[in-house]
Homo-oligomer: A and B are copies of this chain.
Amino acid sequence: MKSVEQPASESLSGAGQRYHHGDLAPALVQAAREILETEGLSKLSLRAAARRAGVSQAAPYHHFRDKTALLAAVAAEGHRTFTRAMVEGMSQAGTDPAERLVACGVAYVDFATHNPGLFRLMFGGTIEQCEIFPDLVAAGAASYRVLEDTVAALTPGQSEPEALQIQALDAWSTVHGLAMLMIDGGLDPVHYGLDSTSDLTRALLRRRLTPLSC
């Protein structure tokens, strides 16, 4: 009476509804991620994620303690792809430290505008007491380190570490604020005589990094 032996390949292929899903935790994370981007945070319920993954309402509780825990997993995964996006964006920017920082910032803002729901989940305070999710904290710290390192490369001979940190914070605040304003504040690049949000980000960062010639 066994069902056909499938090698745990699930995805969307077939309606094979075996009792044990086999890989439910990642499937729930992906389902939640999809709902987040297509329907928004308000439509992202645990039950909806379970439905999308093809399991019952209570199944997620064997893999996540809470709804918040699932959201934390989504956010952590988001931070990892976010980190990758920044690294990749910089790798195409050559070797000039300033241009690399610009590319990092552009990747930062691009990620936010392309995944607004996810970005808000990662930074928007939706997940209360996020410090109790070590995975999330680590992923967030790693993504910050990319930006910090990029800023550090900008001023090689920096003696005092506090100045560097302030500089990194400055860069971080700028791109983070820009990202937030673009996805929430209804910022329109055309209003600045530019075509895309990427161009606006680039213009803003370039202007910053090349102080008035003196």
Cβ A176 vs Cβ B169 within 8 A: no
Interface size on A, residues (CB 8 A): 42
A96 interfacial by beta-carbon distance below 8 Å? no
> Interface majority SS on A: helix, strand, loop or mixed?
helix
A5 interfacial by beta-carbon distance below 8 Å? no
Q: A40-B128, A125-B116, A128-B42 are in contact. Are A172 and B177 (CB under 8 A)?
A: yes
Complex interface: chain B residues within 8 A of A211 (CB): 211-212
A88 interfacial by beta-carbon distance below 8 Å? no
CA distance A212 to B208 in the complex (A): 13
Chain A residues in contact with chain B, CB under 8 A? 40-42, 116, 120, 123-125, 128, 131, 140, 162, 165-166, 169-170, 172-181, 183-187, 191-193, 200, 203-204, 207-208, 211-212, 214
